[in-house]
Chain A
Amino acid sequence: MIKRLTKNPIAMGMLGIILIIALLGIFAPFVAPHDPYEGNILNKFATFSWQYPLGTDNLGRCILSRLIYGIRPTLFLALITMIGTIGLGALMGVLAGYFKGPVDEVIMRIVDVMLSFPSQIMIFAVVALMGADVRNVILANIFIKWAWYARMIRCNVIKYRSRNFILYSRCIGTRETFILTRHLLPSIASELAVLATLDVGWAILNISTLSFLGLGVQAPIPEWGAMLSEAKNVMTTNPIQMIAPGVAIVVLIAAFNLLGDALRDVLDPKEMELS
């Protein structure tokens, strides 16, 4: 499976882009030309120059530096959210699908209830009530979205559960935890990978939207959504401030979506037959 992945040019390309962006973010202090918080108010709205490749914003800060430093909150918060959501969803889905019976019933009832409500609004509500803070945003996301993944993973688990090799394992009395970790997880890993990749895109969108509205990451942290919120007011004088973070968001989300699609194609059973 990994081998087929490496042969797919799109998947490799997107993985490359994402890795480069991630590395830029990690090594931001070495890569960015300026401090993202330091601004020379006299130099606001500067045009492109070698010193300030993307110019400066309304407070005289280097836009490019803020963009690079902004990778950290934008990308890494989304990754943390994804890990939490997928982790909780997968845990619940596996428990429900594997053990069936009352465990399944309880978990699925909860999932049904959670899925009956529009997720976007619920996230807003949770953030509203717990306060506008990054931590709350992440928790709200995890708390609301896990249900959707739980259901999908449960479907998958049920499909694999009746496969012969697992039945055999149970027959010879292997410990349940062993079966779960060594047999079941690898089977659903591929589906999980696709879901995870697509979820990162969604998380980036969600976190940046909340930050844009002032409910997530607060200024002056250079999160791309928050940057756009500041840019809104100075659109006429300095359009680049609005365009640059937006394009960055689009590129990042598009990269994750393409990667997710490519993964899905790679793991499609029909493709497996043809190759």
Chain B
Amino acid sequence: MKNYIAKRILTTIPLLLCITFICFVFINLIPSDPAEVALRIRQTPVITDEAIQAVRLELGLDDPFLLRYLNWLGDSLHFDFGVSYTNPSRTVLGEIARCLPATLQLAGASLLIVILLSLPIGFFCAVYKDSWFDRLVRGLVFMTTAMPAYWVGLLLIWLVSIRWNLLPTSGAGSWQHLVLPAFTVALTYISTYIRLIRNNMLENMKEDYVLYAQARGLRQGTILVKHVLKNSLQTCIVAIGMSIPQLIAGTIVVENVFAWPGLGKLCITSIFNRDYPVIQTYVLMIGTLFILFNLIFDIVQALADPRLRREAE
């Protein structure tokens, strides 16, 4: 088992290096000269060649490529991501740290809603296959996959906040502010997971061990929950876990719609302001989270299934 974990971690390291490299390369692909951009954003009145040279020296832009990459990588490992181009008094790390909690809050709430809703609904859809409930849910699921998240958000604001005056329209502060945005983010994923659980359960219900359990006289409810559900959850939990980084990243649009003060808002403003260090760090962060979560849940999956546990040994 430990060998398996060690091997998995080893394969992850090159991937992580790769993403850091790609992030670094990205910055250097921007069409404009970063020194000039920095000067412009700092609103230097006159951009002279000497000024550009000075900035180039300051930002270390004349060093060879590999050296710059290694320097940047070293800095990143120390969580030193440089300063924001827009506002040099603020560090990138500071900016991200400022906005991260709100996004985590939103992602966390959405995850909770996804799990609480998709598991039981998927379960009952499978158990009562082709019933009116199942068909209704499948219809709704289909509609939601065709709906853009931002439109759902807008609709919810219009209906719930404006017409029915139940919840605030935007901003953050209380749990009431959290409900609509969390639900909007969750909606995109709920449909996927309902389908996943339903299909997993239907597949597992055809397995031999279900027939044998019935032959032994076990109650259908026990069979469904104790055996079928547990077998189905295996894949689902791993899938849900691996999509947590996507959930965190996916809040961008919803944060925009609901004016939620999280990373998404930071990201969009940075894109418009061409604040490249912030964008770069954001991509690096999400990419790393993605790879790490994949690794963690791969291992979780191996641990949870007794068959894989043995194979890995």
Contact = CB atoms under 8 A, between A and B. Distances in A.
Contacts of A213: 252-253, 256, 268
Contacts of B143: 250, 254
Contact of B29 (A117, A122, A129, A258): A129
Contact of A128 (B15, B151, B271): B271
Interface residues of chain A: helix, strand, loop or mixed (majority): helix
A29 interface: no
Given A116-B15, A132-B271, A121 B249 contact: yes
B272 A205 contact: no
A215 B286 CA distance: 20
Interface in B243-287: 245-246, 249-250, 252-253, 256-257, 267-268, 270-272, 276, 279, 282-283, 286-287
Given A118-B290, A121-B287, A235-B162, A228 B26 contact: no
Contact of A257 (B29, B146, B270, B271): B146
A228 to B, nearest CB: 6
A212 B150 contact: yes
A131 B282 CA distance: 17
B163 to A, nearest CB: 9
Interface string A26-41: 0000000000000000
Nearest to B12: A116
A118 B154 contact: no
Interface string A244-255: 001001110110
B148 A205 contact: yes
A232 B153 CA distance: 10
B279 A129 contact: yes
Nearest to B162: A236
Nearest to B246: A118
A116 B245 CA distance: 12
Contacts of A212: 148, 150, 253, 256
Interface string B213-241: 00000000000000000000000000000
Contacts of B282: 121
B19 interface: yes
Contact of A125 (B18, B162, B279): B279
B154 A235 contact: yes
B271 A215 contact: yes
A13 interface: no
Contacts of B283: 121-122, 124-125
Nearest to A228: B151
Contacts of A129: 26-27, 29-30, 276, 279
B250 A254 contact: no
B158 interface: yes
A14 B252 CA distance: 32
Interface residues of chain B: helix, strand, loop or mixed (majority): helix
B157 A116 contact: no
Interface in A201-227: 201, 205, 208-209, 212-215, 225
A231 interface: yes
Contacts of A118: 245-246, 249, 286-287, 290
Chain B interface category by residue count: 35 or more
Contacts of B245: 118
A127 B279 CA distance: 11
A246 B148 contact: yes
Interface residues of A, number: 41
A249 B249 contact: no
A250 B149 CA distance: 11
A127 B157 contact: no
Given A209-B253, A213-B253, A128 B142 contact: no
Contacts of A225: 148
A62 to B, nearest CB: 21
Contacts of A214: 268, 272
Contacts of B18: 113, 116
Contacts of B110: none
A10 to B, nearest CB: 12
B54 interface: no
A210 B273 CA distance: 16
B211 interface: no
A158 B145 CA distance: 31
A54 interface: no
A116 B142 CA distance: 27
Contacts of B158: 235, 239, 242
7 contacts: A116-B294, A213-B268, A228-B151, A246-B155, A249-B151, A250-B146, A253-B146
4 A-B pairs with least C-beta separation: A254-B146, A253-B146, A246-B151, A128-B271
Given A116-B15, A231-B154, A242-B154, 8 more contacts: A118-B245, A125-B283, A132-B272, A213-B268, A228-B151, A235-B154, A236-B162, A253-B147
